[in-house]
């Protein structure tokens, strides 16, 4: 896209420059942050206090009603991406038109809800905010509908004007309300808005409805009934092209020309001279531009003037000729002094079939990326933007979708929608997702699991490890060892698994029992992550076997933990103490060889370095344990020798 060719608006930042420093800024997806730097500023000193200022915030993303727009349009977007490339283009066109209408229906639903809220709210500022949002959505729907007619449906000559008439009627709905008011009054023909309604209906090409309203006046004026009948005849016989009929465009043009000439003859013959309102209508029917411009209040916009002008002068307009009529209609309607609004410029670009200019101007004029992202995506699927790539590598469609999705990531719940948008950006979508997903605050474990599942589904291993480490450390700080171990296993972090295993064992030493038994009993292959975790899992298994009175299996496991050097040396005394109840059983549990191995472990432990920080009382306890173990081992050895000798005999 080209650089913005207009001067940006000035935003005053209170308090900036107190220390005469240069200002720095940082664009975020939803706002702009301005701050003071350490660089000196030359110039007059300004009063105030230094601070960080949020210059612009995307308020739409905070609106509950507009969040519905984002959520529902997300479903339409995802559905659009599923349309297969191999579907015939004729079938695709109807699908694309249907999707476009779905988008517009979501916009209209949000508009209606905003209008209801604006009426019901007691807050003036809130009502004003709702009103502003309705105005923006009205403009968005107006532009989208026109793009649907000109680009997506690509209506040909004949059908084009019919669709433009529908476009005008949809966005000039006050005529219907005024018509109801007139017809429901006691005397419709005497109502002050009567003729405004008749002329408004004619201006929109609604001739049957205009005849119905006009009949109220004719029934009151018997003396001029012939004049009203003549007008009724002209309105009734006005040719309207039927795209589904058998009549060709050429035949329609001939028929329309004859009708137009008949209207012109009535005007030349002063048929309606006795009634200025009927004469005005006749001038409209012949497409008299001066008369049309006199109806500015009823037309209200230059594009309504354009469509009415085409209806009565060139009903078979071809798409390539639209731009000439659009430009001249805007100039005639606005006049030389009035300058066009941004909406006028956007609509004019659409009539000129300059799609990229429409998207550029909308990007500048609108306050978020929702509209341009979704419209561009749809147009791209229609193969209307294939020739436009950006200089930094991405195409226009992907650039806008990425910007919109990045903005969604600033919201506490809408970030989940953004993931699907990134998924459908083949070039940079994954990179953006990896960067943005790391910024999602992991407020709760439930949210962390959501983020983790997103990363796991997309094989984002680095982000998976990062999330699991964060959650594991948080759980460990809160002394939730089971949760910490669970997150560590998912992160496959051996070092942290060792730390948590040691905390589990320390907790066991203090309390005499394990916590989180379900997790420890079902570690499975995960216990191989680190030696400490392996020991923790096996040690817990020893306790389980002992509790189930499977003493022989428990004894073998306990011995293997020591002889295989899996158990930390600092815990050998604890393990040997755990062997005491097994040594004192009436039935011999440890064999002669196993008893010798236990004796060897005990002697190796005692011959090692003594702990200098032990108190006298602790040393006495350790000494007592050692003596008890030696006595128990000696007694078990005796019993084992007798037992094995008896068996051999």
Position 39 scores a pLDDT of 61
Helices marked H in 32-63 — which ranges? none
What span, in angstroms and rounded, lies between the C-alpha atoms of 636 and 585? 9
Length of the chain: 649
What span, in angstroms and rounded, lies between the C-alpha atoms of 395 and 398? 6
Burial (Cβ within 10 Å: 0-12, 13-18, ≥19) of residue 102? middle
Average pLDDT for the chain: 83
What span, in angstroms and rounded, lies between the C-alpha atoms of 79 and 67? 19
* Biggest CA pair distance of the chain: 142
> What's the 3-state SS for 201-262?
HHHCCCHHHHHHHHHHHHHHCHHHHHHHHHHHHHHHHCCCCCCCCCCCHHHHHHHHHHHHHH
Burial (Cβ within 10 Å: 0-12, 13-18, ≥19) of residue 489? buried
Question: How many CB atoms lie under 10 A from the CB of residue 507?
Answer: 16
Question: How many CB atoms lie under 10 A from the CB of residue 101?
Answer: 15
Q: Are 118 and 133 in contact (CB under 8 A)?
A: no
Burial (Cβ within 10 Å: 0-12, 13-18, ≥19) of residue 522? exposed
Ranges of the chain whose pLDDT falls below 50:
1-8, 43-49, 649
Q: Are 231 and 224 in contact (CB under 8 A)?
A: no
Helices marked H in 414-568 — which ranges? 415-423, 429-437, 445-457, 461-477, 481-491, 494-511, 517-521, 531-547, 551-563
Question: What DSSP designation does 395 have?
Answer: B
What span, in angstroms and rounded, lies between the C-alpha atoms of 248 and 326? 26
Report the phi/psi class of residue 492: left, alpha or beta, with left for phi > 0 and alpha for psi in -120 to 50: left
Question: How many CB atoms lie under 10 A from the CB of residue 55?
Answer: 13
Position 11 scores a pLDDT of 60
Helices marked H in 286-428 — which ranges? 289-294, 296-299, 302-313, 322-334, 342-351, 355-365, 370-381, 396-408, 415-423
Helices marked H in 512-612 — which ranges? 517-521, 531-547, 551-563, 572-583, 592-607
Burial annotation 554-577 (CB, 10 A radius, 16+ → b, else e): bbbbbbebbeeeebbeebbbebbe
């Amino acid at each position: 896209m080209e650089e913005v060719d207009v001067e940006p608006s000035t935003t005053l930042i209170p308090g900036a420059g107190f220390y005469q420093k240069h200002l720095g800024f940082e664009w975020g997806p939803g706002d702009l942050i301005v701050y003071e730097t350490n660089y000196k500023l030359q110039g007059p000193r300004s009063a105030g206090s230094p601070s960080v200022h949020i210059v612009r915030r995307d308020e739409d993303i905070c609106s509950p009603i507009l969040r519905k727009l984002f959520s529902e349009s997300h479903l339409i977007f995802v559905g659009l991406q599923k349309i297969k490339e191999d579907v015939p283009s004729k079938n695709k066109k109807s699908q694309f038109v249907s999707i476009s209408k779905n988008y517009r229906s979501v916009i209209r639903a949000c508009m209606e809800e905003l209008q209801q809220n604006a009426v019901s709210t007691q807050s003036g500022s809130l009502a004003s905010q709702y009103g502003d949002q309705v105005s923006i959505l009205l403009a968005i729907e107006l532009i989208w509908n026109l793009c649907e007619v000109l680009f997506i449906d690509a209506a040909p000559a004949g059908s084009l004007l019919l669709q433009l008439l529908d476009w005008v009627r949809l966005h000039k709905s006050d005529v219907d309300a005024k018509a109801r008011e007139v017809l429901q009054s006691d005397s419709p023909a005497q109502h002050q808005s009567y003729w405004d309604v008749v002329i408004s209906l004619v201006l929109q090409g609604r001739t049957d409805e205009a005849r119905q309203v006009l009949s109220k006046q004719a029934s009151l004026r018997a003396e001029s009934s012939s004049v009203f009948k003549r007008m009724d005849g002209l309105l009734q016989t006005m040719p309207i092209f039927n795209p589904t009929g058998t009549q060709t465009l050429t035949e329609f043009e001939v028929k329309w020309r004859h009708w137009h000439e008949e209207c012109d003859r009535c005007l030349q013959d002063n048929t309606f001279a006795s009634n200025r309102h009927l004469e005005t209508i006749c001038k409209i029917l012949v497409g008299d531009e001066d008369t049309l411009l006199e109806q500015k209040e009823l037309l209200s916009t230059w594009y309504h003037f354009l469509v009415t002008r085409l209806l009565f002068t060139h009903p078979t307009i071809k798409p390539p000729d639209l731009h000439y009529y659009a430009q001249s209609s805007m100039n005639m309607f606005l006049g030389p002094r009035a300058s066009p609004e941004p909406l006028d410029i956007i609509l004019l670009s659409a009539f000129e079939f300059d799609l990229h200019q429409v998207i550029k101007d909308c990007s500048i004029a609108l306050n978020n990326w929702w509209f341009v992202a979704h419209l561009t995506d749809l147009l791209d699927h229609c193969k209307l933007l294939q020739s436009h790539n950006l200089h930094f590598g991405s195409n226009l469609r992907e650039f806008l979708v990425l910007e919109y999705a990045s903005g969604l990531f600033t919201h506490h719940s809408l970030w989940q929608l953004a993931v699907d948008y990134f998924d459908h950006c083949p070039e940079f979508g994954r990179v953006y997702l990896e960067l943005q997903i790391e910024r999602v605050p992991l407020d709760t474990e439930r949210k962390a699991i959501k983020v983790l599942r997103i990363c796991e589904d997309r094989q984002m291993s680095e982000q998976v490890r990062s999330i699991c480490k964060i959650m594991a450390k948080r759980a460990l700080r809160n002394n939730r060892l089971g949760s910490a171990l669970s997150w560590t296993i998912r992160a496959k972090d051996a070092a942290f698994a060792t730390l948590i295993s040691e905390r589990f064992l320390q907790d066991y030493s203090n309390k005499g029992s394990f916590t989180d038994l379900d997790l420890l009993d079902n570690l499975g292959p995960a216990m191989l992550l680190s030696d400490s975790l392996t020991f923790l899992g096996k040690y817990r298994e020893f306790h389980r076997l002992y509790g189930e009175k499977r003493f022989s299996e428990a004894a073998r496991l306990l011995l293997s933990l020591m002889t295989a050097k899996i158990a930390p040396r600092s815990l050998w005394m604890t393990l040997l103490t755990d062997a005491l109840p097994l040594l004192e059983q009436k039935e011999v549990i440890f064999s002669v060889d196993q008893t010798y191995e236990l004796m060897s472990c005990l002697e190796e432990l005692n011959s090692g370095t003594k702990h200098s920080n032990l108190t006298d009382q602790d040393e006495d306890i350790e000494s007592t344990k050692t003596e008890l173990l030696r006595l128990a081992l000696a007694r078990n050895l005796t019993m084992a020798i007798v037992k094995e000798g008896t068996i051999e005999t």
